[in-house]
Amino acid sequence: MSAIRRRALLGSALALPAIQAFAFPERPVRIISGFPPGGLNDIVSRAMAQALTPLLGQPVVVENRAGAGGGVGATAAARAAPDGHTLWMGIVDTQAINPTAYRNLPYDPDRDFAPISLVAKFPFAIVVGPAQPRIRNFQELIAATRAGPEAVNFASWGVASTSHLAMERTLRHFDARMLHVPFTGQAPAMQAIMASQIDSMALPAGGGEQLVRDGRTRAVAVIAPNEIPLFPGVPTVRSMGVPLDSGLWKAIYAPARTPAPIIARLNEAVRQAMTAPAFIEVVRLQGAVPEPTTPEALGEMQRAERQAWGDVVRATNAFVE
């Protein structure tokens, strides 16, 4: 055998693993959501799964792993095989708040995940339910708290969650206090408001719109840079002097050590998925627009958000044992 022929055969053998590495995906892909069915994370995860399926050529399914402020799902995703067949729908809570709030967090957002792309930033609405029929606007909500720290209560989807800390930060600006009642997810908290068990809540605008649709529940403020179409005429907390204009962001990750070619493939697919009309409509109904990014940009944003929300956790002593 000639030297040239031997080198050609050796080159083909060395190239084979690389070719096989690009045979992705080889089986169904799952997106882990760290919250129960019915909430915003579940809605967006399922819309993403539907849009990704034709792009990846394999079924993409959603697996709900609720608990510990999204930590149960995050831990499961972090420990999954780094082969691109398990994705994680991370949110500001799991990627930026939990590292400060939880004393013994079993995962590290920077070390255990490979960023793929931001999905969107979702504005919050502060709503008041039928349990407080006399509260018609934000000023009356604050006035009602003057009767005592338990005169009015508010729900969240967990201690140190975005919904908890966004409300606490807003209340602290007015030197007001409410009784905090945490739930295991957005959906059960919304149900409690409609059942007159809970007075108010800061939640994603799409969920807030669902609550106010029948006219019994009122949106009294939004947490966004500007007024949003879902709630025309409802003031922003920034317009009332609260230096807070961000609600909830969601992003797609893979387990750390997922090969770079697979991350690039997934970033391309996720960016394409976010142009699907059905996905755009789901996000629009939540008061947001898709915001695809590079993996590097998502990593930088996560680190900045981790510092900003960590400061809020420390200021409100919202630690979880």
Tens digits of residue pLDDT in 285-295: 888 999 999 99
Measured CA distances, 107 to 99, 111, 210 (Å): 8, 8, 34
Residue 301 CB neighbour total at 10 angstroms: 19
- Kindly give, in sequence order, each residue whose CB lies less than 8 Å from that of residue 23, ignoring residues fewer than 6 positions away: none
pLDDT (0 to 100) of residue 246: 67
CATH 3.40.190.10 fits 124-240, yes or no: yes
Q: Tell me the pLDDT band of 6, cut-offs 50, 70 and 90.
A: very low
- Sheet with 200-204, edge to edge strand ranges: 179-182, 153-156, 200-204, 124-128, 218-223
Please list the helix, strand and coil fractions of the chain in percent, rounded to the nearest 5, in that order: 45, 20, 35
pLDDT (0 to 100) of residue 22: 59
pLDDT at 180 over 50: yes
Beta bridge partners of 248: 122
Helices 277-284 and 40-56: crossing angle, nearest 10°?
Answer: 170
What is the topology classification, in CATH, of domain 28-121+248-316?
Answer: D-Maltodextrin-Binding Protein; domain 2 (3.40.190)
288 three-state secondary structure: coil
- The Cα–Cα gap between 206 and 103 comes to 32
- Kindly give, in sequence order, each residue whose CB lies less than 8 Å from that of residue 40, ignoring residues fewer than 6 positions away: 122, 186, 204, 206, 207, 248, 250, 286
Both tokens of 247, joined, read 């609600």
Q: What pLDDT digit, counting tens, does each position of 222-265 carry?
A: 988 888 999 999 999 889 888 776 678 999 999 999 999 999 99
Maximum mean pLDDT: which of 45-49, 148-152, 188-192, 206-210: 45-49
Residue linked to tokens 């760290």: 34
pLDDT (0 to 100) of residue 60: 98
- The Cα–Cα gap between 77 and 80 comes to 5
| Domain-wise residue ranges, the chain | 28-121+248-316, 124-240
Q: What pLDDT digit, counting tens, does each position of 205-222 carry?
A: 988 988 898 888 999 999
Q: Tell me the pLDDT band of 40, cut-offs 50, 70 and 90.
A: confident
pLDDT at 179 over 60: yes
Domain 124-240 in the same topology as domain 28-121+248-316: yes
Rg (CA), the chain: 22
Residue linked to tokens 């930026």: 96
Torsions phi, psi for 211 (to 5 deg): -70, -35
- The Cα–Cα gap between 128 and 200 comes to 4
pLDDT averaged over the chain? 90
Tell me if 35 sits within 8 A of 186, measured CB to CB.
yes
Q: What pLDDT digit, counting tens, does each position of 61-98 carry?
A: 999 999 888 899 999 999 999 999 999 999 999 999 99
Tell me if 263 sits within 8 A of 114, measured CB to CB.
yes
